[in-house]
Structures are given as C-alpha cells and as structure tokens.
Structure 1
Amino acid sequence: MNEPIPVTRTVDHGTAKLMPDLDRPRAWLLTVDGAPQSYVDLDDPGHLEFEYARRLAHVLDATGEPGAPLDALHLGGGALTLPRYLAATRPGSRQQVIEADGGVLELVAEQLPLPPDGAGITVRRADARAALEAAPDASADVIVADVFGGSRVPAHLTSVAYARAAARVLRPGGAYAANLADSAPFTFLRSQLATFRSVFVEVCLIAEPAVLRGRRFGNAVLVASQSELPVGALARRTAADAFPARVEYGAALERFTGDAAPVRDEDAVPSPEPPGGAFSVG
C-alpha cells in the first residue's frame, strides 16, 4: 500500500502544506507558511491533536444539553477539525464554516473531503467579521473563532463592535469561544478580556499554567456568554488533558485583566507575532 505523500499548494495568503501523520493512516496536518493551522484524522474526528482544539471542544461539549445537536458558526475553517468533531459527537448539528482563504478551502475540499452528505456542515468563503455581522439575530448556539492571518489574530476581530456582533448572533444560553495567543505582559490578551467583559455577562479563560505565568508564548481560549458558564465542567475537563490547563474566572480573572481597557475599532491591533519557532513546523 502506498504511503500518503505531502501536498503543497500556493493559497490566497501564503503556502499551504498538507503533511500525513505516519502514525495514523488518514490523519493530516495543515500548515500555512509553516504555522500549524489544523490537524484532522478522517477516520477518527474525535481525535484532537492540538491542545487548544481540545479546549475549544470542551466548550462545545459543555454547551446546551449533553449530546443534543447544536447550531454552530465557525469563524475560521482550516481543515474543518472542530466541525468534523461536532458532527461526530452531536449528530444532527447544523454548522456554518466561514473561511477567508479560498485556496485553503479548495485544498481541503480536494484532499480531505467531507462525507457525501456534508454531515450538516456548510462551508463558505467570506471575511469572518462580515459574515458574523450578516448573520441573523439569535441564530447560533455556539460561535467558535479560530481565525489567524498567518500566526496573528486579525485586528478587526478584536474590538467591542465585533464582540457585540457575536452577542447578537448567540441564542440565550449560547457561548462564544475564541482561540487567542499571547505572552507576558499579556497586553493583547488582557485587552480581549476587557473587551468581552464589556459586552458579555460571563467570561472565563482557559490556558496552561506556564502560559498564564508568563513563562512562554502560547494559546489561550476565551469563553464568553450572557448566561452562567459551566466553569466547573470546563475545569475538570481541561485538568484531565495530557497537557493540563487552568480555568481563570471571577476575581482571579479580574486580577489578571487588571486595568486593561476595551478595544475600539479605531484602536484595534492584531495579536502579537509569535517568537521564532513558537508554532512553526518544518
């Protein structure tokens, strides 16, 4: 049997590579300009290789009634890791995926296609904020934002106006979850917490202790809702991961946020550039 071979393609925003995982027969890593974007196992969509993806999945698992279908809006598509996960764990879910890079969409559709029936997943090429602002009121149970221009979160997805659009689109009891990245002194991450706390009643942050202590650059998942967050369930799930994370909430989160101010559109900046080698793959 022939081994799968890597695929390299010029896409809208750089060079994309699909690299097979030789330990898992139908698993692939997607990178763009060397930065990991997605890992997907076509035979086992419940297998999440990246820790931040597991943390986002914990939010999906804890939203709504256990196992019940969800209406999900994914901002950022990549190889459709989390849409595939949700389709497998909550059959009948309706999911819309927004991806700005048409080249990535074509590559994934060609090399890592969805099942013939689509599994309830609709993929559309569009800007994440434009799609969010065009979405109907109260149309999503969960919004997952995993949008990176290269290795940075775009500035227009960091402001109060953007957070308000997310709040409008969520149904009562719904949750917004975003993959962010930063390091000490956490200027960007603290500004995002201040921004979402100015719009949402409840906010928490999931990250590894080493990242929160400023020892290294890394991912952090921001979760926001107008209803009570399942902080206990999230804490238990993230603590049990191979790389355990901590859930910051309440007074501890207030201390971490400090005197950071909410971000206006006119002041918005992208997340910081990762230090050399932080996320790159050869």
Structure 2
Amino acid sequence: MLATLPTGRSDVVVRDVFDGDATPPHVTTTEFVEDVRRVLRPGGVYLANCADRPPLHRLRAEVATFREVFGDAVAVVAEPALLRSRRYGNFVLAGIAPVEDERTEGTQDPLADLGSAALERALRSLSVPARIVHGPDTKALAGSTRPLRDPMA
C-alpha cells in the first residue's frame, strides 16, 4: 500500500501493526522508512509504535533505522521505566521530514519545539507519565546498533 501513495502528499504516517507481540520485520527496515519519508510533506511526521523488552535491542535498532533516514530529526516517547530498560512496553518513535526555509537559506530544525519545557511538563503530567528523548540524544539511545535492512534477494 505504501508504495502506491504519491510522493510528498502526507502530513502524518502512523505505523501501529503487530503480529502477536512483535512488529513484522518488513515494516521496520531502512528501505521501508525511506519509502515513508518519500510520501511525507516537508515537516510531515512518521509515528511508529515499537514494543520491546529489556535490553531494548528492537528499540535501539529501530532508533538507528530512523536516524539513518531522518538524521537528528528523531524522537522517542515512553514511560521513564521503559527508557531505563526495566520492563516490557511500548515506545513511540517519531521522524520528522525536513522543512526547507528559503528565508534562512537552509533547513529549519523540525524538532525545535520538542525540547520545550512545556512539552516535557505536559508529558510528565499525563495519567501515565512519559519522557521524550530527541535529536542527538537518540544517537546515544541507539548506541552502536546498526540500522535494520531488507534481506538481500
């Protein structure tokens, strides 16, 4: 279905698909995320639900994959205990397509508002408090994990 969508026409793409308690591997690869990026408008957002358990191998691989496609324009939102690798749960990954700004010669920072005190306060005050990791901090979260790739034919 994704391959049939026109280039640059979507504001948001959401991936929330599971086979049992795992995400099907073919929708977690760099090639798939590149195709999602293709359909996003500038400033468009890709949100993906990632379930994982300690020691968070799946999350780290998906973060590395998102970073391969979106660079620093990546964020992860989850309960603090999940980010500390204390139990099984769901993480929301976000990748934001760059926005070209002709007035400033270059690319605007699509994550500029993600580090705001207001957003962090709002996440902490949810009925299930959450924390956000964004930008360069996602590099540390991915660690030395390699991005996921489609198998060779």
Partner of residue 134 from structure 2, selected from 224, 234, 249? 249
Match for residue 147 of structure 2?
262
Structure 1 residue 234 displacement after superposition: 4.2
| Alpha-carbon distance in structure 1 between the residues aligned to 2:26 and 2:139 | 24
Structure 1 residue 258 displacement after superposition: 0.4
| Alpha-carbon distance in structure 1 between the residues aligned to 2:61 and 2:82 | 16
TM-score of the two chains, using structure 1 as the length reference = 0.46
1:152 aligns with 2:48: no
1:219 aligns with 2:104: no
Match for residue 180 of structure 1?
50
Matched residue type, 2:76: L
Instruction: Provide the identity percentage.
Output: 42
The number of residue pairs the alignment matches comes to 137
| Alpha-carbon distance in structure 1 between the residues aligned to 2:3 and 2:123 | 31
Cα deviation, 1:205-257, whole Å, max 9, x if unaligned, reads 00111111111100000000123123136433322211111001234322111
Segments of 4+ moved more than 6 angstroms: none
Partner of residue 240 from structure 1, selected from 101, 125, 130? 125
Cα deviation, 1:189-216, whole Å, max 9, x if unaligned, reads 1110111111113001001111111111
| Alpha-carbon distance in structure 2 between the residues aligned to 1:234 and 1:177 | 17
| Alpha-carbon distance in structure 2 between the residues aligned to 1:251 and 1:172 | 20
| Alpha-carbon distance in structure 2 between the residues aligned to 1:222 and 1:244 | 16
For structure 2, the 5+ residue unaligned runs are 99-109
Q: CA RMSD in A?
A: 1.5
Q: Does the aligned pair in 1 maintain the 2:16–2:48 contact within 8 Å? A: yes
Matched residue type, 2:89: G
Matched residue type, 2:96: S
Q: Does the aligned pair in 1 maintain the 2:12–2:44 contact within 8 Å? A: yes
TM-score of the two chains, using structure 2 as the length reference = 0.84
